Structure 1
Amino acid sequence: MTLNPIYNQSKYIARKKIFSALGGKLHIFNDSGDLLLFAEMKAFRLREDITLYSDETMGRELLRIKARKILDISSTYDVYDVETGETVGALRRKGLKSLFKDQWAILDTQDNEIGAVKEDNAFLALLRRAIAIIPLKYVLEIGGQVIPAFRHNFNPFVTKITADFSGDRQGKLDRRLGMAATILLCLIEGKSD
Structure 2
Amino acid sequence: MQNLAFPLHFSFKVLTPSNDFSVFDANNQEVAYTRQKIFKIKEAIQVYQSSGRQNLLYTINADRIIDFNASYTFRDAAGNVFGAVKRSGMKSLWKTHYQTSDAAGQTVFSLHEENPLAAVVNGFLEEIPLVGMLSGFFLNPSYAINDAQGRTVFRLRKLPSFFERKFRLEKVGEAAPEQEQLALLSVMLLMLMDGRDG
TM category (shorter chain) comes to 0.7 to 0.9
Measure how far apart 1:148 and its partner are.
5.5
The equivalent residue for 1:111 is 105
SS of match in other structure, 2:89: coil
The equivalent residue for 1:189 is 194
Once the two structures are superposed, the pairs formed by residues 123-142 of structure 1 within 5 Å of their partners are: 123-132=117-126, 133=135, 134-142=139-147
The equivalent residue for 1:76 is 71
User: Which blocks of at least 5 consecutive residues in structure 1 are unaligned?
Assistant: none
Measured on the aligned residues, the alpha-carbon RMSD in Å equals 2.3
For residues 10-59 of structure 1, give each alpha carbon's deviation from its aligned partner in whole angstroms, at most 9, with x where no partner exists. 322122222223x2331111112111111333333331211111122211
For residues 41-98 of structure 1, give each alpha carbon's deviation from its aligned partner in whole angstroms, at most 9, with x where no partner exists. 3333331211111122211111211111112211111112226x54221111111211
2-structure distance, mates of 1:24, 1:129: 17
The equivalent residue for 1:43 is 38
Count how many residue pairs are aligned between Structure 1 and Structure 2.
Answer: 186
| Residue 150 (1) aligns with residue 156 (2) | yes
For residues 148-171 of structure 1, give each alpha carbon's deviation from its aligned partner in whole angstroms, at most 9, with x where no partner exists. 510012434322221112x22243
Contact kept in structure 2, 1:152 and 1:161, CA below 8 Å: yes
State the one-letter code of the partner of 1:70. Answer: I
Q: Structure 1 110/191 Cα, relative in aligned 2: closer, same or farther at 3 Å?
A: same
Q: Structure 1 185/176 Cα, relative in aligned 2: closer, same or farther at 3 Å?
A: same
Contact kept in structure 2, 1:120 and 1:138, CA below 8 Å: yes
Q: Structure 1 49/192 Cα, relative in aligned 2: closer, same or farther at 3 Å?
A: closer
What TM-score does the superposition give when structure 2 sets the normalisation length?
0.81
State the one-letter code of the partner of 1:182. Answer: V
SS of match in other structure, 2:69: coil
Contact kept in structure 2, 1:14 and 1:182, CA below 8 Å: no
Measure how far apart 1:191 and its partner are.
2.6
For residues 161-182 of structure 1, give each alpha carbon's deviation from its aligned partner in whole angstroms, at most 9, with x where no partner exists. 21112x2224387111111122
2-structure distance, mates of 1:173, 1:138: 20
2-structure distance, mates of 1:173, 1:61: 18
Over 4 Å off, 4+ runs: none
| Residue 61 (1) aligns with residue 66 (2) | no
**Which structure dedicates a bigger proportion of its chain to helix?**
2
User: Which blocks of at least 5 consecutive residues in structure 2 are unaligned?
Assistant: 127-134
